[in-house]
Structures are given as C-alpha cells and as structure tokens.
Amino acid sequence: NAGVTQTPKFRILKIGQSMTLQCAQDMNHNYMYWYRQDPGMGLKLIYYSVGAGITDKGEVPNGYNVSRSTTEDFPLRLELAAPSQTSVYFCASSYSELGTPLHFGNGTRLTVT
Amino acid sequence: AQKITQTQPGMFVQEKEAVTLDCTYDTSDQSYGLFWYKQPSSGEMIFLIYQGSYDEQNATEGRYSLNFQKARKSANLVISASQLGDSAMYFCAMREGRRDDKIIFGKGTRLHILP
C-alpha cells in the first residue's frame, strides 16, 4: 500500500525555471492538499482540492498552479521559480469526513538558486 | 478566518515528566476538528490525536490526551510520561466543518526531552 507518493524527493532549480511536483495517492481520498514548510516553521497551505476538477486557493497560492484531473493525482506547478520558493513541499490527502486525519507524502525538498 | 496559534516555540522537559503543548484557535464555525501531528527530525508527519468540536469527552490515544476547552478555544496536547523519542516538532491543525475544507496549521512547538 503506497499511500501518498511524492516525486521528486529533491530538486535544485535555477531562478526563472519551471517544474511540476508530482503527488499521487492510492487510498481513493477525495481531498488533497499541498503545503510548504520553510525551515523551522509550520506548514502553509498552498492549494487544495475536494475532488477531481475542483481546486481552491490556500494561504500562499501566489507563484503556484494546480490541477486535479483524476482522484489520484494532484500535481503542483511552479512557474518562474524564485528563491522565496525554496522550501519543503508536502502533499497530503484525506477522506471528506471532518474527523479523518491527513495522510502525508514524504515531501519534496526544493532549492531555487 | 480560521487561525491557529502555538505560542511555545521550544520546550525542554525532563524524561518521564508530563508535558503540555499549547494550542489556541479561532473560528466562527460551530463545527470544526482539531488535530495534532508530530514531525520527528526525519521529516515525516505523524498523526497523533483528533478532537471534534461536538465531542463531549477529551480525546485520548495512549500517552496522548487533548485538553479541550471550547469556551477558551484551546486544544492543548498533553503527553504523559515523556520519552526520549518524543523529541520532535508538534503541530496543531484545524479544519472547519461547514465553511470550507481548508486545514491550517500552527507554527509548531519544538519539544526536547532531556535524559
């Protein structure tokens, strides 16, 4: 049972480059989330989705885009990478019921130089 | 707007003592859920405990319990008989039940257990 799979684990980008962080879950979860965690800080919500075809902005959406064409996949796109986007990115998923916890991927460590 | 506040950036506790990690929240929704997660130095996020706003009893899971005071909007995590392996970052999180499905996190508390 893979759970939530994030790829890549590590990436170094040059300023202005673009990339897509992949996230896939095999638990048939409706809800999926993207967070970023800066060093020593908490998690900030970037985007989230409550089902295929539905996405919504979180706390820090600027500089990112998402799509949700299937229940399983929720890729995060960075356009024109900036040093401020250096962070660890976590994807998470859950069922829709209020009390169900998030299942997290192992994170992607991104450095923009 | 929903908000989570963790006011203790770091704590040092002697092994085997109990420890309380503070979490206050703000929401205008009557239906909401509160979660605690642990993040060891390896980086993964581990779910610890959940409290629903309508739950009458404080949640407990093994050595973890949640001191839920609804009127004060606080949901403090209590770890009994702390162990060296409890050294980690701890995050409080909230999801509102009706307004939207965002789950937001506090800034976290770094707990150090001393031998």
CB contact under 8 A, A45 and B91: no
- Give the pLDDT mean for B93-104: 84
Q: How much is the pLDDT for B1?
A: 72
| Separation CA A101–CA B7 (nearest Å) | 23
Interstrand relation of A31-37 and B64-69 (parallel, antiparallel or unpaired): unpaired
Q: Considering only alpha carbons, which residue of chain A is nearest residue B92?
A: A42
Question: What does the pLDDT look like over B20-71, one tens digit per residue?
Answer: 999 999 998 889 999 999 999 999 999 999 999 999 899 999 999 999 999 9
| Chain A nearest CA to B78, separation (Å) | 19
Both tokens of B3, joined, read 């908000």
pLDDT digits (tens, 9 = 90+) for B69-83: 999 999 999 999 999
Q: Which residues on chain B are in Cβ contact (under 8 Å) with A35? A: 105
Place of tokens 């009390």: A99
- Min Cα distance B83 → chain A (Å) is 22
- Contact criterion met (CB below 8 Å) for A94 and B35: no
Q: Is residue B30 less than 8 Å (CB to CB) from chain A?
A: no
Q: Which residue of B has its CA nearest to A38?
A: B107
